[in-house]
Structure 1
Amino acid sequence: MARPRLVGFSANIQRPSKTRTLVEAIADRAAGEVALDIRLFDMVDAGPALGSAWSRDALSLPARRIVEAIEEADALVVASPVYKGAYTGLFKHLFDLVGPDALIDTPVAIAATGGGPRHALVVEHAFRPLFGFFGAQTIPTAVYASDADFQDGVLRDDGVIQRVADAGGQLARAILSRSASAADSLALRSAVR
């Protein structure tokens, strides 16, 4: 049986980035509990043409591959740096091009990075409604990390590290639950035939 596909997407436009570090940490934690096929993307991987693509068929090949990977994922870890109290405009634009039914019941871990603690609620006030629109299953623990939580690009704050562990564990359990439900449905269909 194929491993569940976890896609991590970070809305950073440069490498290395704290946002990518957070995505990797959550994905690694989930992979510590369930065998996963992990694919990681950054906004920079979509290329500069993403912003000028007004429709899905106008996407460049790199951006189209990211959208398709997101739609085909069994689970997601998504994160964005915070600008003006929300995720980046290009992050939203990319998800505007994801099919409205593509993420139904998909487990999603949400995270963000920002300059300070005043942006911490962006995960609750911006990310949860977006993925609620898609009918995705956002896991309970969201992760926010500010600049002070990192030292030399490495996550150092014990509280944030614990939230990463909680989010990764919850995501792993959601993936296992979804896989078990899919296997039960397949067995039931086979038995009926």
Structure 2
Amino acid sequence: MRLVVVSAGLSVPSSTRLLADRLAAATAGRTSAEVEVVELRDLAVEIAHNFTNGFPGRKLAAALAAVTAADGLIVVTPVFSASYSGLFKSFFDVIDPDALAGKPVLIAATGGSARHSLVLEHALRPLFSYLRAVIVPTAVYAASEDWGAEGLPERIERAAGELAKLMTGLSTPSTQSGPARAEKAETAEKAEKDEFTVVPFADQLAALAAR
């Protein structure tokens, strides 16, 4: 399995990258996934050129291919102007619209204040719902005061566990053969018919009149 982390942090070091690394480590510890990190900071120029000429550069093409082939994604953005960063949105604007359909995605963000935590629900979750990704229930926001405080490690572990379950569940093929599945479905249908018998209304009236 492949776990791809998309980090939109701009500074070095970056709290966005730090959160991304912690989420990736927690998820990889629950799966056998190989982790690949895509730093959008390094792709900014190629993303801009893609908008003007319609073709991705070498590094951007590799990043898009990695995201498309991933079994699971962790996406982390800093909060700018009460939403995701323009660089973050631009990357997902140039990716194929069908690339994330059915793909498990863990959304996360960092910001200077806890007041921006709703960016996860009013910006990131709608974006990836539009792209038809499978978004894990727990999203992770880390404000400046959250680092080293109670709560953040627990949220990271919970979100990572949810992503790991989705990744392993979607990547594990069914152990039943086609005929076995068909037989199981037929048995279930027969049991349902045996349990619930539909009596026509006319027959019910006739039975009442005969009493």
What TM-score results when the alignment is normalised by the length of structure 2?
A: 0.79
Which structure 1 residue ranges, 5 or more long, are not aligned?
A: 151-155, 189-193
Mean Cα deviation higher: 138-147 or 62-71 = 62-71
- Contact (CA 8 Å) 1:81, 1:113: kept in 2 or not? yes
Q: 1:133 to 1:185 in 2, by over 3 A?
A: farther
* 1-structure distance, mates of 2:52, 2:26: 35
**Structure 1 runs of 4+ with >3 Å offset:** 185-188
Length, aligned pairs only: 180
Q: Relative contact order (C-alpha < 8 Å, sep 6+): which is higher?
A: 1
Amino acid corresponding to residue 178 of structure 1 in structure 2: L
* 1-structure distance, mates of 2:43, 2:136: 26
Q: 1:56 to 1:135 in 2, by over 3 A?
A: farther
- Contact (CA 8 Å) 1:108, 1:138: kept in 2 or not? yes
- Superposition map of 1:91-130 within 5 A: 91-130=88-127
- Contact (CA 8 Å) 2:50, 2:94: kept in 1 or not? no
- Contact (CA 8 Å) 1:47, 1:62: kept in 2 or not? no
Per the alignment, residue 36 of structure 1 pairs with: 33
What TM-score results when the alignment is normalised by the length of structure 1?
A: 0.87
Cα deviation 1:3-51 (Å, max 9, x = unaligned): x110001111232211011111111111111111110121122142322
Per the alignment, residue 17 of structure 1 pairs with: 14
* 1-structure distance, mates of 2:117, 2:71: 27
Per the alignment, residue 184 of structure 2 pairs with: none
* 1-structure distance, mates of 2:59, 2:160: 27
Mean Cα deviation higher: 58-67 or 48-57 = 48-57
* 1-structure distance, mates of 2:154, 2:68: 29
Task: Give the SS at the match of 1:58.
Answer: coil
- Contact (CA 8 Å) 2:44, 2:87: kept in 1 or not? no
Asked whether 1:58 is paired with 2:48, we answer: no
- Contact (CA 8 Å) 2:47, 2:60: kept in 1 or not? yes
* 2-structure distance, mates of 1:187, 1:76: 30
Per the alignment, residue 146 of structure 2 pairs with: 149
* 2-structure distance, mates of 1:56, 1:140: 37
Equivalent of residue 80 in structure 2, options 65, 79, 83: 83
- Superposition map of 1:169-188 within 5 A: 169-180=161-172, 183-184=173-174, 188=178
Which structure 2 residue ranges, 5 or more long, are not aligned?
A: 179-211
Per the alignment, residue 72 of structure 1 pairs with: 69
Q: 1:48 to 1:178 in 2, by over 3 A?
A: same
Amino acid corresponding to residue 142 of structure 1 in structure 2: A
Per the alignment, residue 191 of structure 1 pairs with: none
* 1-structure distance, mates of 2:14, 2:177: 43
Per the alignment, residue 167 of structure 1 pairs with: 159
Task: Give the SS at the match of 2:169.
Answer: helix
* 1-structure distance, mates of 2:176, 2:128: 27
Per the alignment, residue 153 of structure 1 pairs with: none
Cα deviation 1:81-133 (Å, max 9, x = unaligned): 00001111111111011111111111100000001011001011111111101
Q: 1:168 Cα deviation (Å)?
A: 0.5
**Identity over aligned pairs, percent:** 37
